[in-house]
Amino acid sequence: METRLILRRSIRPLYKLHRDGYCLDGSFCLSNFLIDENLLIALEYQPENRKKYSKERGCADFQRFVKMVQDDVFGAEDIPNEICDWLSLIQSAGTDYEYLVSYDSALMECNQVLSTFLQLSSKLIIMETSDYAGYKFVLKQLQPFAGWDILDLHNEHFIGTYWRRDPITGNRTRYGNDVRSLLRLIRNTFQHIMMKTVDINGRITFKEEEYEYILNDQFPRLLRDFMKAMYIAAYLAELNLEHVMV
């Protein structure tokens, strides 16, 4: 978790420098990022290295940042897949996708993964009536996840939700193989877990990191693609992730 925190706090000073109209044209290294005891990060540099911002020079900063993370932060260690995806996003669209890069799912703490997915799902439901074009766009972007089947599920929590019967009516919730049904299955699974894992004192006993694990293990990249689609549709910022991913 500390690595995620440091990474997300390291990219922001670079974006701020660009917003202020300057860049470093790739002339920096890991030692330019100063970390205090509270894990707050400042970007320091020599005045002569600061240049007027241009998109080309800004891209050079992002290319350098990616290489720095790969070589100096992780070095010989294996880089987690989600961090590799984040670095690829920086390389391909760092200058255009500031909010998405700054609050990528790869940089989230475990409790933020759960809340972000549930909020996105709720917004998508509202969009069906308030912004049908945006709603259809998001579903289209998530089409690679369509066509799923019960036989594709290997996580016990998702399987349990799929076959679950209402304790009062005895009826099962029916799921299709479309994206909307998949999102509903995930949402229902998370909600069922929360209901079943409360002790006698009302405390949730299911570890928060397990939500992230079961989602990424069963449906890798789904949350990332969901966030990207909602970002392009201009809804991701409504989650105010900047207030929780400090």
Residue 130 has pLDDT above 70, yes or no: yes
Architecture of domain 2-107 in this structure: Orthogonal Bundle (1.10)
What is the average per-residue pLDDT within 127-153? 97
Q: How far apart are CA 24 and CA 46, in angstroms?
A: 10
Residue 204 has pLDDT above 90, yes or no: no
Residue 168 confidence (pLDDT): 85
CA 54 to chain centre: 28
Residue 205 has pLDDT above 90, yes or no: no
- Per residue in 79-123, pLDDT (tens digit) is 999 999 999 999 998 889 999 999 999 999 877 899 999 999 999
Closest by Cα among 174, 173, 182 to 152: 182
- Per residue in 147-164, pLDDT (tens digit) is 999 999 999 999 999 999
Domain layout of the chain by residue ranges: 2-107, 110-243
Q: Of all helices (H) and strands (E), which one includes residue 41?
A: strand 41-43
Lowest mean pLDDT among 38-42, 141-145, 204-208, 242-246: 204-208
Residue 143 confidence (pLDDT): 98
Residue 202 has pLDDT above 80, yes or no: no
Give the SS3 label for residue 167: coil
What is the average per-residue pLDDT within 162-190? 94
Domains 2-107 and 110-243 share a fold: no
Residue 66 has pLDDT above 70, yes or no: yes
- Per residue in 30-40, pLDDT (tens digit) is 999 999 999 99
Mean pLDDT for the chain overall: 93
Yes or no: say if 103 and 244 are a contact pair by the CB < 8 Å rule.
no
Looking at CATH, the fold of the domain delimited by 110-243 is given as de novo design (two linked rop proteins) (1.20.1440)
pLDDT above 70 as % of the chain: 95
Residue 200 has pLDDT above 90, yes or no: no
Residue 198 confidence (pLDDT): 61
- Per residue in 38-59, pLDDT (tens digit) is 999 999 999 999 999 999 999 9
